[in-house]
Chains A and B, each alone.
Chain A
Amino acid sequence: MIVDSYRFLPRSFRPFYEGRGPFPGEESPVWAPFEKRLSASRIALLTSAGVYMKESQPTFDLEREDANPEWGDPTWRVIPATARPEDFAFAHLHINPEDMLADPEIALPMRGLAELIDEAVVGGSVADHVAVMGYQDRGLEDWRRKTAPEIVAHLREQGADALILAPA
């Protein structure tokens, strides 16, 4: 089956995504080989669903986005692998969070990953996964300049061998 990339997208949005080619300056391939066995690797997860820990972290700034619709909060949060589903909140104005609240695994499969670790399919998990809010300004300047380098530093510090990213 070849996935229809626009099946759930309102038709009028399609031109914003389709046929636009590579991001400026990002034309050439990038590649980091996956060199270890999966069973000896430490895996990190990243979701763009705007997840945050509702007791201990600030929400993503939706008020500013409301005032300036072309802007999206470029900050990021660490999500402890030990967090429980009831610890999460979702800040994302472009999707209905109901299903994610009912079962956060559909955005951030931390328990699924823990099972694979128990079964020794995967070596381990980072202690702290990563969350961003996926709606960003078109130029991605803050992500490029600040967020991406910070996430890279975090992943290195956590000893991550690889990352699974899930756009919301």
Chain B
Amino acid sequence: MRELSLGQAVDRAIEDAMARDDSIVLIGEDTPLLRAPLFARFGADRVLAAPISESAFFGAAAGAAMAGLRPVVELYMVDFIAVAFDAVLNHIAKLEGFSGGNWKAPLVIRAPSGGWYGDGGQHGQSLWGTLSSIPGLTVVVASTPADAYGLMTTALGHDGPVIFMEPKLLSEEWLEFLGSGGRDTVSFDIPAEGAVGAVPDSPHTTPFGKAAVRRVGSDVTVMSVAVGVHRALEAAAKLQGSDVSCEVIDLRSLRPLDVETVVESVTKTGRLLVVDEDYREFGLAGELAAICLEAALSPRYARVCVEDTLPYARHLEDAALPNVDRIVEAATALVQA
């Protein structure tokens, strides 16, 4: 076991895998600085510094993956995947289907995600709902250092494309880079268990499609990913002793989704609360409701999500994101309804 921050855990997973597997190359902007340790260990042939040309280097990563490499493609933040979306939607995701399953492209997209530090609506989105709707992609979201290491390691051994989301609030490195910039005059509400934690020694993997029950409860199933999991745990702790006992489930993997765990928990509690830092409509919240209906469950249901373009101002952003107060209120209302 070692104690790592979430960002370090992702970096370690990539570095460990690159040492094992020569076919892994890393592509991204500013890699000589941002990935300086990898750059110094593996050289410029395996750690490529890309121009600000996302549509080109995402498309190229797809081609490289088809031709035998295993690229890790980095974004500064998942918002910028929009610039490369054709490569993701129409090429990376489609290869396996178009080729009748004969050709798969093993590539990993490393995408920092989410807000809580006041960077505005082009830099704080989550977008996993949009991305998880696309057949042919695997989408995973880490909420602890152990899972960050485990999910990234699994991704680097997977035979198809994986989008790996790394919540910026939980990543000391990203938060320092984008949020504080070396200032001690700003503060953030960082969930401790998400930001730093014990990571089992290599090789440690976390399976895709397997949710983690973070807290056992009996009245409401609270489902989330990323920072939302920690906000839900905090809400559950606040509600402890009341008649609202929350079961908190960290889905970890959205595509594939652990339907069994969802159904099992909702069957037990009869209530489902989705906590999602992504947009409310046509996303994870609706998907989980559909899964329950398909399983012939009709739980009492509520969702605490992002409803509009994320505002820049910290107090407005905090109110727009699924904060603890909103979760407590929604969970309580579900039980009292």
Are both chains from one complex?
no
**Residue ranges of A at the interface with B (Cβ–Cβ < 8 Å):** none
